[in-house]
Amino acid sequence: MILPFNRVKLIVDSSPEAVAAVCDKLRASGIPYDRRTKQTRGALGKAVTAGRGVSGYLGGMPAASFSDALGYVYTVYVRRADEARARELCHL
C-alpha cells in the first residue's frame, strides 16, 4: 500500500500518453503505483477560455488556439523502496 509518508514522486507530466506509458511499464513489472490527476484551472478560468473560443480571433490567431492545453497535470507516485527500480525501468 502506498501511503503519503512512504511514497515519492516518480513523474509529473501534462501528457496523458507519457504517464500511461510509465504506468504500463510499472504495471507490467509488478511495481505498485498511485496516479493522481489535478486540474490546473478552475471553473471560472475554463469559462473564460471557452468564451474566447467563441468570440473569434485574438491577435490574428483563432481564439481556440489559446484553449487550455495544460488542463491537467498527472503525478505518479511509487513506494520509496521501489523508487530506484522504477526509475531504471522507466528510464527517468
Question: How confident is the model over 7-64, as pLDDT tens digits?
Answer: 999 999 999 999 999 999 999 999 999 999 998 877 776 666 665 555 555 555 554 5
Q: Measuring CA to CA, which residue among 17, 23, 33 is closest to residue 72?
A: 17
Q: Is 30 helix (H, G, I), strand (E, B) or coil?
A: coil
Q: How far apart are CA 28 and CA 85, in angstroms?
A: 13
pLDDT at 5 over 90: yes
Query: Which DSSP helix (H) or strand (E) runs through 21?
Result: helix 16-29
